[in-house]
Amino acid sequence: TLHLSATTTEIGDNCGMWPEDNISFSLALDGNEYPAAADMTVAGNTLMGGSVTGALWGFTATGVAATTAGVARTVSPASGGVTDDGIATVQIALPPGTASVKLKADVVQEYAGYYWNMDDVSLTGFNDGGASDFPPTLSVSPDGLEKAVGVSNNLSFTISASEIPNDSGDEVRIWATGLPAGAAFAGATNTGSASSVFNWTPDTAGTYPVRFFAGDKDGTNQVDVTVTVYEGGGGTYAVVVGLNEYSPSYGAGSLSGCVPDANHIHTNIIKRGEWNPLSVTKLLDSAATKTAIRAAIANYAATAVAGDTFFYFQSSHGGQNSGTSVFLCSHDANYEDTELAEDLSAFATGVKVVVMVDACHSGGLFKSVEDGTLAVRISKSGWDLAGIVSRIMDEQRAAKLAAGIKGVETRVSSSEIGWITAADYDQYSWDGGPNGGGVFTDKVIEGWTNNPPYSCDLNSDNYANFWELYDYSWDVANSSDYEFTTAMAHNTNVLLATIAGWVGDEAPGGLIVFSNMTAQTVIVGDTLEYPVGAYTAGTNVPVTVTMNTVEPGASYADGELTFTPTTDGAYTFQFTGTNANGGSATASLSVTATLPAPTLTAVTGIGNDRFTANWNAVAGAASYLLDVATSDAFSAGSGGDDVLAEDFASLTDTSVPSGWTTSGSSDLDYTGVGYFGASSPAYKFKTDGQWLQSP
């Protein structure tokens, strides 16, 4: 807790604190770094009170701003001028078990002569019997006050409130204001703590601020969440690359951990994150050619829109070109830094792009095994992949703008791409991790899959953002065994804002499992009625299922998908399941619509060597397959299987095989090797007019 005032040496118009004038407070817990976003920011306003525009207040004002360490919040007085409701008390609650804390205050002031005044800083231990009568603290799970979702996609998150131990008997109430049309937030009232789930499937793009409150007898706290709805956004896409083996003509040596790295990442983004198998391309070894990698990235760049997330992971060798540029290794060629920059630049602005690379790219070196021969280091500093690709993107963008190329500003900029790399520019990335992958990626997976408090989850929201994955793993190779290698992060604001998935053994709110998701087939014009449901594993907590896919002729109600396709093709229906505990999961159902078989009509034009087949046309058909045979046992669609096979094994001097007929004026069997035959018996023609007829 600390006390704050905002003053000036000259009372007059425009002399108050404006929104551009702010003071922010950050806490570093247990020897860790300060958070990228301040825990509490107090700002002025543009409101007028009396003759003063802006806000000024003393220590005796009544405003209280409270948050929890790790939950960023910005507040300002509700009145302008010399006001009584200024923020005179700032409270930041600490997570249980915190052993040490450091405070940092940062000030932004537009003009001299204005003063932020801070006094009476105190740290109160919650378990010593002294602290009481505090309002409840609020948290958001998954963490983050900026949410994004696409039109017709589902968004859900949990708002929780909790009391300090000495106030655990207080009744807590949660409520919200500014809910957008169609959004559900029931609120909750409970003793000691409470939580409620925000759930919404928007139908209109826009920005929607929602204010959540938690109150008790001692006061009220709030968090403001901004939901940005994009046209068609909210999707998740990924390209996952692992390369142990390389083309002999390319010449890179074999590795052992890169394919396991890719498999581990692929498994966890689907199991724990919002990705699904249909939106992820995994390329391993010979499949991971440069052409294939670039095509996969280009495919998602053409698909993703603002509000979507794209994740690119690669574990492989890396290299450098005589200290002038760097590259990643594909199966058959160098994936140059200029090419990667070009490919990433194709994404639309507003798409969150995260790149994680476990390779010795940063120094242009080959990925090394613990007992391998190390390549020669380059001495030139600054050759990290993230820095180089970002610089190239900026240069390419500037050149296109200078040339007057249209649409450049609608593409993603380098500042919108978050990077995690397993090594600095002059370090190696190491193979031979404890779980079969690389040392760094194995550590990432450990932090992601461990149960709290041994996971990477710094803010205790039960989810891992990409910054938390990095923070847990960055120093795994910082020892003499690995030449003190440290991982690197770039554009950490993007990493903090992008959720990788839930942590531990079980999803928050319970593990939601979808049932009956076997691929289905339906004939065009017919109606598929198929039950789709979900349950919370091991509990009786019910699950609400919604269908996120908008498709003509399809609907979902009362646990059943109804679909009447009008054209043939492959369809994918995505569903979201949520429960009252805040659990959430997605699943996809594949449906293939096929054209009906044509109806045969009477055969016409029958002759000894011809006939005319007739059938009713099928709407939408581009071609037809006609199977013809002479056997009654022939079945449609057999694809031209043999209808006659005879090896003459039963041929004798006086008879032909059953069903066959002959003129009978010949020796029926083959009589000796002197006739240069290939096998015996065999039918021998030796007389004019002799004939043989099949059944």
Confidence at 437, pLDDT banded by 50, 70, 90: confident
Query: Residues 465, 466, 471, CA angle at the centre, nearest 5°?
Result: 100
Q: 424 vs 116, which has greater pLDDT?
A: 116
Radius of gyration of the chain (CA): 35
Task: Identify the CA nearest to 525 among candidates 565, 490, 491, 580.
Answer: 565
Q: Which two tokens stand for residue 559?
A: 């646990």
Region label for 226, one of left (φ > 0), alpha (ψ between -120 and 50) or beta (otherwise): beta
3-state secondary structure 201-219: CCCCCEEEEEEEEEEECCE
The least confident of 128-137, 152-161, 272-281, 552-561 is 128-137
pLDDT at position 268: 93
Sheet containing 554-557: give its strands across: 528-531, 560-563, 554-557
- Residue 381 is given by DSSP the state S
User: What percent of the chain is modeled with pLDDT above 70?
Assistant: 87
Can you tell me the mean pLDDT for 43-72? Answer: 86
Residue type, 239: V
Q: Is residue 280's pLDDT more than 70?
A: yes
pLDDT for residue 287: 92
Residue 375 has pLDDT above 50, yes or no: no
**CA angle centred on 457, ends 453 and 462, rounded to 5°:** 90
Residue-wise pLDDT for 511-527, tens only, equals 788 877 888 999 999 99
Q: Which residues contact 225 (CB under 8 A, 6 or more apart)?
A: 140, 145, 146, 147, 157, 198, 209, 210, 211, 212
Q: Which of 514, 662, 655 is nearest to 588 (CA)?
A: 514
The residue with greater pLDDT, 384 or 370, is 384
Mean pLDDT of 239-263: 91
pLDDT digits (tens, 9 = 90+) for 334-351: 999 889 999 999 998 889
- Can you give the pLDDT at residue 376? 32
Q: Which of 44-48, 85-89, 264-268, 514-518 has the lowest mean pLDDT?
A: 514-518
Picking from 353-367, 411-425, 562-576, 613-627, which range would have the lowest pLDDT averaged per residue? Answer: 353-367
Give me the pLDDT at residue 608, please.
83
Would you state the pLDDT for residue 673?
53
Contacts 24+ apart (CB under 8 A), 9-12: 9/113, 9/115, 10/113, 11/51, 11/52, 11/56, 11/82, 12/51, 12/52
What average pLDDT does range 560-564 have in this prediction? 94
Cα–Cα dist 174/160, whole Å: 8
Angle at which helices 337-344 and 385-402 cross, to 10°: 60
What does pTM read for this prediction?
0.52
Q: Is the pLDDT of residue 363 over 70?
A: no
Query: Could you report the per-residue pLDDT of 608-658, keeping only the tens digit for each?
Result: 888 899 999 988 888 888 877 776 666 655 544 455 677 777 777 777 888
In order of their start, the domains of the chain are 2-119 (no CATH), 137-229 (2.60.40.3170), 236-502 (3.40.50.1460), 512-594 (2.60.40.10), 646-695 (no CATH)
Whole-number Å distance between alpha carbons of 599 and 612: 15
The strand pair at 309-315 and 318-320 is best described as: unpaired
Q: What is the pLDDT of residue 655?
A: 79
Q: How far apart are CA 494 and CA 418, in angstroms?
A: 5
Mean pLDDT of all residues in 445-455? 90
Helix ranges (DSSP H) in 133-289: 258-271
- Output the pLDDT for position 607: 86
pLDDT tens-digit readout, 18-27: 888 889 999 9
CA distance 586 to 513: 9
How far is the CA of 664 from the CAs of 8, 149, 241, 388, in angstroms?
Answer: 126, 85, 71, 89
Q: Are 532 and 561 in contact (CB under 8 A)?
A: yes
In this prediction, residue 14 carries a pLDDT of 65
Helix 466-473 to helix 439-449 angle (10° resolution) is 120
pLDDT of residue 7: 86
**Could you tell me how far CA 418 lies from the centroid of its own chain?**
14
* 3-class DSSP state of 555: strand
Output the average pLDDT for the chain. 82
Q: Out of 499-508, 517-526, 670-679, give the one with best mean pLDDT.
A: 517-526
CB neighbour class for 434 (10 Å; exposed up to 12, middle 13-18, buried from 19): exposed
Beta bridge partners of 90: 2, 65
Of 561, 574, 560, 564, residue with least CA distance to 523: 564
Q: How sure is the predictor about 29, in pLDDT bands with cuts at 50, 70 and 90?
A: confident
Which one-letter amino acid corresponds to residue 431? D
Tokens linked to 88:
């005179």
What pLDDT does 671 receive?
55
What would the two tokens of residue 587 be? 């699943």
End-to-end CA distance of the chain: 102
Assess whether pLDDT exceeds 50 at residue 371. Answer: no
Q: Flag whether pLDDT at 449 surpasses 70.
A: yes
Confidence of residue 368 (pLDDT cuts 50, 70, 90): very low
* CB within 8 Å of 664: residues ≥ 6 apart: none
pLDDT reading at 380 higher than 60: no
Rounded average pLDDT over 560-573: 90
Give ∠ CA 510-514-517 in degrees, rounded to 5: 165
Across residues 350-364, what is the average pLDDT?
Answer: 75
Tell me the per-residue pLDDT of 129-157, one tens digit each, with 9 for 90 and over. 456 777 888 888 777 777 877 777 778 88
Backbone angles phi, psi at 173, to 5 degrees: -125, 135
Predicted local confidence at residue 428, as pLDDT:
65
The order of strands in the sheet holding 334-336 is 318-320, 326-329, 334-336
Question: Which two three-digit tokens encode residue 228?
Answer: 């940005």
Q: How far is 468 from 417, CA to CA, in rounded Å?
A: 16
Cα–Cα dist 521/160, whole Å = 43
Q: How confident is the model at residue 233 (pLDDT cuts 50, 70, 90)?
A: low
What Cα–Cα distance (Å) separates residue 610 from each residue in 442, 505, 613, 624, 637?
69, 69, 10, 19, 21
Whole-angstrom Cα distance, residue 253 to residue 530?
A: 50
- Name 23's Cβ contacts closer than 8 Å, sequence gap at least 6: 4, 41, 42, 105, 106, 107, 108, 116, 118
Tell me what pLDDT residue 692 has. 84
Q: Coil, strand, or helix at residue 283?
A: strand
Q: Is the pLDDT of residue 314 over 70?
A: yes
Residues 347-372: what's their mean pLDDT?
A: 64
Residue 381: the pLDDT is 38
Least confident of 212-221, 309-318, 386-395, 572-581: 386-395
Residue 313's SS3 state is: strand
Residue 429 in contact with residue 440, Cβ under 8 Å? yes
CB atoms within 10 A of CB 220: 15
Closest to 221 (Cα-Cα) out of 297, 299, 160, 282:
160
Q: What is the DSSP letter of 458?
A: S
Residue 245 to residue 357: CA distance in whole angstroms:
17
Residue 369 burial by Cβ neighbours in a 10 Å radius (0-12, 13-18, 19+): middle
Percent of the residues in the chain that have a pLDDT greater than 90, as a whole number: 26
Q: Is the predicted pLDDT of residue 42 greater than 50, yes or no?
A: yes
**pLDDT tens per residue, range 462-498:** 889 999 999 999 888 777 777 677 888 888 888 988 9
Is residue 393 scored above 70 in pLDDT?
yes
Asked whether 508 and 141 are in contact (CB, 8 A), the reply is yes
Distance CA(445)–CA(438), nearest Å, equals: 11
Model confidence over 64-105: pLDDT tens digits? 888 888 878 888 898 888 998 899 989 888 876 677 888 999
pLDDT number for residue 365: 34
606 pLDDT above the threshold of 80: yes
550 or 573, higher pLDDT: 573
pLDDT given at position 91: 87
- Strand pairing partners for 93? 68
Ordered alpha helix ranges (H), 457-606: 466-473, 492-496
